[in-house]
């Protein structure tokens, strides 16, 4: 049962409308326009609003407040004849439709049903798009354009880097549109271009087969000339008639229009898909979705991912975008015999492709040096076993090595590493006393044996009360 909020300053109008709506199986809540109708909207969360417009009683303020929290709920105005121009100007901006009093009650019911159904469809489409494409801020503009394309029959150009999901978007537009039951035919752009200017006979045949459905022109790579692109775009738009055209021109057609003076304005909806590196917030969500889908497809027991694996995915540059992410997850799921994907399952993602944010070349160089230094120190410590040998291998002093380890937050085996303060003190005293005695209280040698810095050793001697250092 759909819920409708009635707002009017005339109590008798509210009672009459409520009686009619309830007799047609609507749940109705009424609110006087001079008694904070927006509060009623927040409490009731209706599927539609019928607003009896009286300019002097703050109805437009209530409408403004409603639109701040809900852009989709259809609002229908009831207006006097003298206010019709105001109501007409609000169409497509704030309101769904309007009726001049006296109201044709049967038509009001028809428009109300249509508005609610359309909004429910939009909500369903939006949820589907967010599930398939992600919910990051960077994707919202693209999703808005996709929703616009779903609601009309204009030709569509989907452009973006390889692997961003252009084919997936084309099919989503088709599946969510009125012609979803009609054919979706994919055509290679090479078959479309004939002498770089016109449609081939084969493509004409495909257009006839796709009546009521969608033709998707794929494979339009960067080497297509602006003139050829303009010719193809113009011919496709002119031929579409009962066929929706979706193409993947590598650039915005408005740029081609400016370069070639071709008249394409108004014939194409442009959808730009951002690279995955610009919407890092979607990586975790998409990974979870791919794990669920691929575990089912591959009959795997994988159900999630560890934090160290997430860190690898979030730091990777993803030159292949969403396609590469799905391929990586597929490989990891295939290799895993456990419930969680771990860092080692993504070891094939090369470090040289790790994310580098936009910054000056000087900062890029400094960051690269830091990453290489850190990796070299970790590897040398693992191979040599102690800091003295590692420092010698790296051709730096032990003090420099200690500073670098502190700078890069590198941990290494350390018998004096803090545990719980009270429980650990005795163990730390025992661990430190023997090397100090063996080294005849030589702190440099003792620190080397304990694999800690000399400053740290001094702090520990004072903390655990071993003795004087004379």
Render pLDDT for 294-348 as a digit per residue (tens, 0 to 9).
Answer: 999 999 999 999 999 999 999 998 989 999 999 999 999 999 989 999 999 998 8
Task: Write out 20-38 in H/E/C secondary structure.
Answer: HHHHCCCEEEEEECCCCHH
How many angstroms separate the first and last alpha carbons of the chain? Answer: 88
- Alpha-carbon distance of 355 to 330, in angstroms, equals 21
pLDDT in tens, 400-420: 988 888 887 776 554 334 434
Instruction: Please report which helix (H) or strand (E) contains residue 390, including its range.
Output: helix 387-394
188 backbone dihedrals φ, ψ, rounded to 5°: -70, 135
In contact, 4 and 28? CB cutoff 8 Å: yes
User: Of 175, 179, 183, whose CA–CA distance to 146 is shortest?
Assistant: 175
Whether the bond between 102 and the residue before it is cis, its omega within 30 degrees of 0, is yes
- Alpha-carbon distance of 300 to 340, in angstroms, equals 11
Strand order in the sheet with 97-100: 27-32, 3-8, 48-52, 75-79, 97-100
Buried b (16+ CB within 10 A) or exposed e, 246-273: bbbbbbebeebbeebebebeebbbbbeb
In contact, 307 and 313? CB cutoff 8 Å: no
pLDDT in tens, 31-55: 876 677 788 888 888 999 998 876 5
**What is 121-139 written as a DSSP string?**
HHHHHHHHHHHHH---HHH
- Look up the CATH superfamily of 136-274: P-loop containing nucleotide triphosphate hydrolases (3.40.50.300)
Domain locations in the chain? 3-119, 136-274, 278-353, 361-407, 421-464
| Long-range CB contacts for residues 208-211, cutoff 8 Å, separation at least 24 | 209/183, 209/185, 210/182, 210/183, 210/184, 210/185, 210/243, 211/182, 211/242, 211/243
Six token digits for residue 140: 């919202």
- Alpha-carbon distance of 399 to 414, in angstroms, equals 16
pLDDT at 281: 93
Q: Higher-confidence residue: 58 or 130? A: 130
- Alpha-carbon distance of 228 to 397, in angstroms, equals 64
Question: Hey, how many other C-beta atoms are within 10 angstroms of the C-beta on 418?
Answer: 11
pLDDT at 17: 86
User: Of 451, 456, 464, whose CA–CA distance to 382 is shortest?
Assistant: 451
User: Of 286, 364, 274, 280, whose CA–CA distance to 315 is shortest?
Assistant: 280
pLDDT at 203: 64
Report whether pLDDT(65) > 60.
yes
* High-pLDDT (> 70) share of the chain, %: 68
In contact, 80 and 100? CB cutoff 8 Å: yes
340, β-bridge pairs: 304
pLDDT in tens, 167-196: 999 999 999 888 888 999 887 766 665 544
pLDDT at 153: 82
Architecture, CATH, for domain 421-464: Orthogonal Bundle (1.10)
Is the domain 3-119 a CATH 2.30.30.60 member? Answer: no
pLDDT at 237: 62
Q: Higher-confidence residue: 94 or 26? A: 26
Instruction: Please report which helix (H) or strand (E) contains residue 188, including its range.
Output: strand 184-188
Six token digits for residue 107: 């038509």
Strand order in the sheet with 214-218: 184-188, 214-218, 244-247, 155-160, 268-273
Least confident interval from 125-139, 171-185, 434-448: 434-448
User: Of 317, 313, 187, 193, whose CA–CA distance to 245 is shortest?
Assistant: 187
CA dihedral 247, 249, 254, 258 (to 10 degrees): -130
Q: Higher-confidence residue: 122 or 132? A: 132
Least confident interval from 1-10, 247-256, 261-270, 289-298: 261-270
Please report which confidence band the pLDDT of residue 438 belongs to, taking 50, 70 and 90 as the band edges.
very low
- Domain 278-353 identical in fold to domain 421-464: no
Predicted structure pTM score: 0.59
Please report which confidence band the pLDDT of residue 441 belongs to, taking 50, 70 and 90 as the band edges.
very low
Report whether pLDDT(354) > 60.
no
Rounded to an integer, the average pLDDT of 255-265 is 62
CATH number corresponding to 278-353: 1.10.8.60
pLDDT at 440: 38
Rounded to an integer, the average pLDDT of 1-20 is 86
466 CB-near residues (< 8 Å, 6+ apart): 429, 432, 433, 436, 460
Six token digits for residue 219: 């494979």
């Amino acid at each position: 049962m759909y819920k409708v909020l009635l707002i009017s300053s005339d109590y008798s109008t509210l009672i009459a409308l409520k009686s009619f709506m309830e007799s047609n199986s609507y749940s109705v809540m009424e609110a006087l326009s001079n008694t904070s109708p927006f509060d009623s909207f927040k409490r009731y969360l209706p599927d539609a609003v019928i607003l009896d417009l009286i300019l002097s009683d703050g109805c437009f303020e209530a409408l403004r407040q409603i639109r701040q929290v809900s852009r989709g709920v259809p609002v229908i105005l009831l207006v006097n004849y003298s206010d019709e121009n105001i109501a007409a100007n609000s169409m497509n901006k704030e309101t769904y439709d309007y009726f001049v009093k006296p109201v044709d009650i049967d038509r009001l019911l028809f428009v109300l049903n249509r508005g609610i159904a359309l909004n429910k469809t939009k909500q369903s489409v939006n949820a589907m798009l967010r599930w398939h494409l992600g919910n990051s801020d960077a994707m919202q503009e693209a999703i808005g354009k996709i929703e616009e394309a779903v609601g009309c029959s204009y030709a569509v150009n989907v452009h973006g880097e390889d692997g961003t999901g252009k084919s997936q978007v084309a099919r989503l537009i088709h599946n969510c549109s009125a012609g979803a039951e009609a054919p979706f035919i994919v055509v290679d752009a090479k078959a479309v271009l004939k002498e770089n200017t016109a449609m081939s006979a084969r493509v004409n045949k495909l257009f006839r087969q796709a009546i009521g459905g969608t033709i998707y022109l794929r494979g339009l790579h960067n080497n297509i000339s602006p003139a050829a692109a303009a010719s193809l775009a113009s011919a496709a738009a002119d031929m579409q008639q009962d066929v929706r055209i979706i193409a993947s021109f590598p650039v915005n057609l408005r740029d081609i229009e400016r370069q070639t003076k071709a008249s394409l304005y108004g014939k194409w909806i442009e959808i730009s898909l951002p690279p995955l590196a610009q919407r890092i917030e979607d990586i975790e969500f998409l990974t979870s979705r791919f794990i669920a889908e691929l575990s089912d497809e591959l009959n795997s027991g994988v159900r999630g991912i560890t934090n160290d694996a997430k860190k690898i995915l979030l730091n990777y540059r993803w030159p292949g975008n969403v396609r590469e992410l799905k391929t990586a997850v597929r490989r990891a799921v295939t290799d895993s015999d456990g419930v969680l994907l771990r860092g080692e399952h993504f070891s094939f993602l090369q470090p040289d492709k790790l994310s580098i944010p936009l910054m000056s070349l000087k900062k890029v160089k400094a960051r690269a040096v830091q990453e290489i230094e850190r990796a070299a120190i970790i590897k040398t410590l693992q191979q040599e076993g102690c800091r003295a040998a590692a420092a010698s291998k790296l051709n730096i002093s032990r003090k420099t090595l200690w500073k670098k380890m502190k700078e890069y937050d590198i941990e290494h085996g350390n018998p004096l590493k803090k545990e719980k303060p009270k429980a650990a003190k005795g163990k730390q005293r025992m661990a430190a006393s023997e090397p100090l005695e063996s080294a005849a209280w030589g702190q440099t040698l003792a620190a080397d044996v304990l694999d800690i810095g000399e400053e740290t050793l001094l702090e520990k001697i004072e903390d655990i009360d071993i003795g004087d250092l004379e």
